[in-house]
């Protein structure tokens, strides 16, 4: 082998190592930008979280920014809320090798909410209110993981590590009718990595990335039935947080590397419709409802790494592999919330809360090589509230606790289609969440 051939081989080896390193680097760059939606898993608002995540008809205060924006118009005081939320995970996938605990970092976050009645006159006086709600983790803006599909993982745990933002406006139309609308927002990542040789023949890289916003609408309506009863309806749009980093290699001599897309869907909230009926007067408050969630449109966490170039004919065959459809299906989640109000003194009252929600799993059994585990969850909730003081600055304190019980689910693992059963894996676990908040009204 001549000196020139050896130099070419060294150059090829160096370029391939650089490209491989950049693929891994892009994965690391994406890791902290994987997004989630804690409000879809845990709910939003400490009162709602303690009442089985209900609120489309029984919601009050800051909770209604997410539960049902129409009910914002029932708040006529300027209010500021500060709170804390935390969640811990105990998730397991027990297979032929024995039980295996899958570790996930806990959620530690603060919440900020605000209500601003708009000082309009005439027919709109005391009828329009603006609401804002934020949930911000202490240590990250967003966190998530896109792992190899063969690695055991629970998607529910990665979906709570994110900043959550909601803003909405509610209006009272009179005759017992209220309407409202707003948006939910998350961040998404797009970027590029360019691999090329400089004038001296060295392989260099240039990395660019940009955070962009992802939005989804939220609209709601409510109607007062009279005698202290109300019905509520809320629609939340599909909220998708994608990341896409394109790696392009140029001027690498005889080596040709197609553009590589390090991309996927890190967080996905399906569009959903919630309906609820509630008793909203008297010492006992009761809410019963259900939420339809369109999980059948979920494309899965992975996207194709190598994609075909645009062809002249749309039906031109393409050999680039495409991740399979995850096979999710739509679900209906029933919910129940209860609150008891007790007057302790002329300027003090106590509220005790409880609730239950059933979250059916939209995922199919993981019978092949994939291990995207998911289980039907029973969500048991407790909560409390206290109102202290008189105007002009009364203080409200709220707290909640949740226990998510992941029902054990058996997955019969098969090596390939038609192959005998290779073993069973049972997924199960618990999620524990809690928090407290203080609200001042002016």
pLDDT for res 415: 60
- pLDDT, averaged per 10 consecutive residues of the chain (442 residues), comes to 43 42 37 53 94 96 96 95 94 75 87 95 92 88 66 73 87 96 83 73 73 88 95 95 77 70 79 97 96 91 68 50 82 97 91 97 86 92 93 88 95 63 82 96 88
| Cα–Cα distance measured from residue 141 to residue 35, given in angstroms and rounded to the nearest whole number | 9
Tokens of 418: 């038609």
pLDDT value of position 262: 74
| Count of structural domains, the chain | 1
CA separation for the pair 243, 358 (Å, rounded): 31
The 3-state DSSP class for residue 16 equals helix
266 SS3 class? strand
Phi, psi at 422, each rounded to 5°: -90, -10
- pLDDT at residue number 243: 75
pLDDT of residue 254: 66
Which residues is 165 bridged to in the sheet? 134, 185
Task: Give the number of residues written for the chain.
Answer: 442
Report the pLDDT value the prediction gives residue 111, as an integer from 0 to 100.
95
Q: Is residue 283 part of a domain?
A: yes
**Contact by Cβ (8 Å): 402, 433:** yes
Q: What is the pLDDT of residue 216?
A: 94
pLDDT tens profile 30-67: 333 333 478 888 999 999 999 999 999 999 999 999 99
Task: Give the pLDDT confidence score for residue 245 in this predicted structure.
Answer: 77
Cα–Cα distance, 388 to 397 (Å, whole number): 8
What whole-number distance in Å separates Cα of residue 195 and Cα of residue 203?
7
Which two three-digit tokens encode residue 267? 């967080």
Distance CA 143, CA 145 (A): 7
Query: What local confidence, expressed as pLDDT, does residue 94 receive?
Result: 86
E runs forming strands in 95-202: 101-102, 107-117, 128-137, 153-154, 164-174, 177-197
Tokens read off for 333: 């989640």
**pLDDT of res. 10:** 44
pLDDT, tens digit, for every residue of 92-129? 988 755 568 888 888 899 999 999 999 998 888 899 99
378 found inside a domain: no
Residues 230 and 277: beta-carbon distance below 8 Å:
yes
Confirm whether 440 is domain-assigned: no
pLDDT of residue 166: 93
What domain range is 171 assigned to?
Answer: 3-84+107-300+323-346
Judged by DSSP in three states, 49 sits in: helix
The predicted structure's pLDDT at residue 366: 86
What pLDDT, on the 0 to 100 scale, is given for residue 315?
A: 46
Whether residue 167 is contained in a domain is answered as yes
Q: How far apart are CA 48 and CA 276, in angstroms?
A: 13
**pTM over the 0.95 mark:** no
- Count Cβ atoms below 10 Å from residue 381 Cβ, excluding itself: 29
Question: Is position 427 within any domain?
Answer: no
257 in a domain, yes or no?
A: yes
3-state helix, strand and coil shares in percent for the chain, rounded to the nearest 5: 15, 50, 35
Residue 17 is inside which H or E element, if any?
Answer: helix 3-30
Asked if the structure places residue 431 within a domain, the reply is no
Do the domain assignments include residue 175? Answer: yes
């Amino acid at each position: 082998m001549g000196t020139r051939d050896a130099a070419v081989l060294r150059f090829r080896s160096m370029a391939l190592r650089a490209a491989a390193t950049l693929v891994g680097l892009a994965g690391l760059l994406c890791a902290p930008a994987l997004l989630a939606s804690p409000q879809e898993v845990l709910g939003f608002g400490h009162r709602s979280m303690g009442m089985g995540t209900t609120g489309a008809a029984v919601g009050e205060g800051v909770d209604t920014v997410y539960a049902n924006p129409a009910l914002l118009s029932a708040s006529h005081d300027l209010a500021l809320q500060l709170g804390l939320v935390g969640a811990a995970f105990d998730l397991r996938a027990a297979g032929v090798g024995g039980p295996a605990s899958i570790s996930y970092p806990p959620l530690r976050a603060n919440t900020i909410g605000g209500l601003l009645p708009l000082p309009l006159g005439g027919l709109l006086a005391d009828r329009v209110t603006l609401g804002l709600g934020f949930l911000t983790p202490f240590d990250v803006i967003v966190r998530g993981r896109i792992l190899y599909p063969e690695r055991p993982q629970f998607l529910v745990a990665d979906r709570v590590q994110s900043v959550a933002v909601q803003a909405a406006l509610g209006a009272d139309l009179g005759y017992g009718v209220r309407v409202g609308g707003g948006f939910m927002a998350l961040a998404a990542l797009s970027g590029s990595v360019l691999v090329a040789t400089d004038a001296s023949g060295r392989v260099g890289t240039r990395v660019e990335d940009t955070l962009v916003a992802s939005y989804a609408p939220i609209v709601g309506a409510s109607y007062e039935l009279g005698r202290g009863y109300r019905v509520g309806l809320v629609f939340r749009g599909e909220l998708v947080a994608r990341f896409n980093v394109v790696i392009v290699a140029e001027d690498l001599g005889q080596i040709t590397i197609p553009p590589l897309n390090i991309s996927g869907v890190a967080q996905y909230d399906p569009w959903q419709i919630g309906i609820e009926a509630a008793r909203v007067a008297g010492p006992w408050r009761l809410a019963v409802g259900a939420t339809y969630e369109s999980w059948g449109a979920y494309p899965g966490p992975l996207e194709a790494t190598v994609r075909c170039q645009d062809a002249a004919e749309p039906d031109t065959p393409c050999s680039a592999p495409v991740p399979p459809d995850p096979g999710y299906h739509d679900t209906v989640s029933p919910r129940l919330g209860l609150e008891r109000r007790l007057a302790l003194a002329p300027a003090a009252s106590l509220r005790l809360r409880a609730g239950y929600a059933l979250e059916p799993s939209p995922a199919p059994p993981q019978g092949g090589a994939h291990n995207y585990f998911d289980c039907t969850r029973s969500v048991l909730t407790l909560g409390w509230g206290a109102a202290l003081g008189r105007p002009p600055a009364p203080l409200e304190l709220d707290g909640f606790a949740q226990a998510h019980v992941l029902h054990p689910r058996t997955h019969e693992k098969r090596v390939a289609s038609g192959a005998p059963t290779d073993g069973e894996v049972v997924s199960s676990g618990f999620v524990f969440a809690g928090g407290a908040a203080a609200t001042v009204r002016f």
